[in-house]
Each structure stands twice: as structure tokens, then as C-alpha cells.
Amino acid sequence: MRIEDTNGEEINSLEDWAKIFDTPQRQKHWKAGRSAHSIADFILNRGGEKRIAKLLERVVHEEVVLEKAKPEFEVPFDKFGRGRVHDLGVFGKTHSGKSIFIGIESKVDESFNKTVSEVYLEAKAKQIAGKATNAPERIEDLLKLNFHNIEPSVFDIRYQLLYATAGAVAVECDICVLLILVFKTHLYDELKALDNYRDYLQFIALADSSEILNDEGQAVAHRISVGEKELFSIYENILLRES
């Protein structure tokens, strides 16, 4: 699998990958034991490509070949500004020739952002104060995309999960996958990670979903309807201690 930056330059080492984060805004995210560094280490040094391919084969029931990966891969999904930035966007194909896109969200114990309610109310307050923002409209569209019935309970969902799914299905391909990889590093906090998993399951429970894989404590996968498209959503825990 070829890994490349936004300029098409090949990434072969952690040093190459780190250059993507060499800006004042991004530098704080590049730290050993945290999510950005962990996904890079996993892919480059820990057999991540093979493990992801094997996991996907269990979900789509076909051999999967991963061909290209792009860290910090942005996918536009609506008309309201910046798109979804996947920690890693991966392109591949199945044995039968189907194209596949995997939007990877890397976590250690970082949360899935604020709740929809918190983000929505903040945005509406800005509108009322006369400040220009399209955030309420974006949030409303994302709710309609992810849920057939908009009930009050959907406002308790973590906002990041709504645009993570949108960014995964917005790529033109035959099979869309959202892959959440939780790395158990030396900085991993089990209680925070448990809260994150509960937030994820809360989203799954409210979405139009069906379970297709459940390895207790390891990986869980669901088939989800997102708008008119089908999405495979996978949540996997990976032990990533220093060797």
C-alpha cells in the first residue's frame, strides 16, 4: 500500500508522516501515545495494513487489497465549508473488483467531540447574536442524513460521529467503511475509553443499523443506512504498547 501526503509525496517513515503536523495548529496533536502518532506507528511499523485488510474481509466476506492511504484526508460532504478530515483515508478493492474506501478515525481515549445539543445551541446563539454561521443548517442536514426519525434523544449523540459517517459515504465507491481504531497506548485511560465506547453504542442504537460482527472486547461491526447509502461501521481496540 502506498502512503502519500496531500502533494502526492510518498510517506515511508514516522518522520515523513510527522511533517504533515509541522504547523502551529497541528504540532500539539503529534505526540507518542496519542491518536495521530499511534495510527502512523500502527500502519508503518506494526502491520496495520494487513490487520485492517483481514478485519475488512470478515465484514465484506471478500479478499481485500489496500492500495493507497492518505493521512489527514479531507472529504467534502456538503456545501457548508470544510469537509470531514479523516485521520487516514484508505482506498482499495475487493477480489470481485469492487472499489472500497475506509475513513479511519484514530483514538486513544479522546472523545467524539461535544454533543449535538451543545454544538447546535452554540451555533444558534451565534445566529441570534447576528453572527454569520451555517452550523445549524449543517447539523440539521447531518441529523436527517443519519436518522430516519429525528427524536430529542438524537441531540445527545456526540457530534463527531455524525460527520464521520457523512465523510465516509461521500466518497464515490462501491463499499464505504468507517473504521474507528482505539489504540491502547501508555497514555490510554480506560474510563475515558469506556465512555467513548458507550457514546458510540448510543449512536448505533439510534441509527438504522444491524450488527454483523462482535468479538467481545476486540471489534464490533454494524451495517448502517446513511441517507441513501450503506455504510459498514467498525469499532476495534488495538493494544499498542512500546516494544
Query: What does the pLDDT look like over 19-64, one tens digit per residue?
Result: 999 988 888 889 999 999 999 999 999 999 999 999 999 999 999 9
Cα 89 to the chain's mean position, in Å? 9
The rounded percent of the chain whose pLDDT value lies above 90 is 92
Helix, strand or coil, per DSSP, at residue 225? strand
Instruction: Indicate whether 243 pLDDT > 70.
Output: no
Provide mean pLDDT across the span 10-26. 93
Name the residue with cell 478530515: 85
pLDDT, residue 237, reads: 97
> Do 47 and 55 form a contact (C-beta atoms < 8 A)?
no
pLDDT for the residue numbered 242: 66
For 112-132, write each residue's pLDDT tens digit.
999 999 999 999 999 999 999
Q: What is the pLDDT of residue 118?
A: 98
Q: What whole-number distance in Å separates Cα of residue 103 and Cα of residue 202? A: 20
Residue 201: C-alpha distances to residues 172, 191, 210, 222, 230 (Å): 27, 15, 12, 10, 18
Give the C-alpha separation, 102 to 100, whole Å. Answer: 7
CA dist., res. 81 & res. 77, Å (int): 9
Identify the pLDDT of residue 49: 97
CB 4 within 8 A of CB 11: yes
Residue 235 DSSP label? E
Q: Write down the pLDDT at residue 25.
A: 80
Nearest to 91 by CA among 167, 182, 1: 1
